């Protein structure tokens, strides 16, 4: 038994409603046995409209995906712009706030083996240890190390 889908596959995307009607009328497929030409014509028009509708939906879904991709790309660009604008804006971190945030207990076993319990972590790369200490460093020691590192970073 030949399905309607198989019949529709024989007609190209550019087939007209008339092409569908002609194809349905001359077909000897079992689903058309005993059907009048008028009934075959109605079935052909329905199949034509269904094919055009599914083609339209396929185009729309492709457009939707493309639009979503563009929207996502625009959102990423907007975020980068916001990040660049906010970078360097506002007040710089105070020495006291930097001390509270960057002086931490070390968790690395190789530091602990050497008897080091505290470290000053890097600003942009927290995995970097600027300096290791046995005892918690003072605010003055932290400030001294920050000035030393700034000298390296900024050539001073």
CA–CA separation, 96 vs 139, rounded Å? 7
Task: Spell out where the chain has E strands.
Answer: 103-105, 118-121, 129-133
With 0-12 CB in 10 A as exposed, 13-18 as middle and 19+ as buried, what is 152? Answer: exposed
End-to-end CA, the chain? 87
At 34-45, the pLDDT tens digits run 888 899 899 888
Q: Is 69 helix (H, G, I), strand (E, B) or coil?
A: helix
Residue 93: which of 104, 103, 82, 101 has the closest Cα? 101
At 103-119, the pLDDT tens digits run 999 999 999 999 999 99
What is the average pLDDT across 5-27? 77
CA–CA separation, 129 vs 11, rounded Å? 71
Residue 22: which of 7, 3, 2, 1 has the closest Cα? 7
Global pTM value: 0.41
Give the length of the chain: 156
At 44-88, the pLDDT tens digits run 888 888 888 777 666 666 667 778 888 888 888 888 877 776 666
């Amino acid at each position: 038994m030949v399905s309607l889908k198989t019949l529709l596959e024989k007609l190209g995307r550019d087939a007209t409603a008339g092409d569908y009607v002609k194809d349905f009328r001359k077909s000897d497929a079992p689903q058309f046995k005993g059907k009048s030409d008028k009934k075959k014509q109605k079935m052909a028009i329905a199949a034509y409209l269904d094919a055009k509708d599914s083609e339209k939906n396929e185009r729309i879904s492709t457009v939707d995906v493309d639009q979503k991709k563009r929207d996502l790309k625009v959102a990423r660009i907007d975020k980068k712009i916001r990040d660049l604008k906010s970078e360097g804006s506002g007040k710089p971190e105070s020495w006291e706030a930097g001390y509270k945030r960057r002086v931490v207990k070390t968790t690395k076993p190789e530091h602990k083996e050497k008897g080091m319990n505290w470290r000053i972590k890097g600003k942009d790369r927290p995995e970097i240890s600027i300096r290791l200490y046995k005892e918690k460093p003072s605010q003055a020691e932290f400030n001294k190390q920050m000035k030393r590192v700034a000298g390296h970073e900024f050539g001073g």
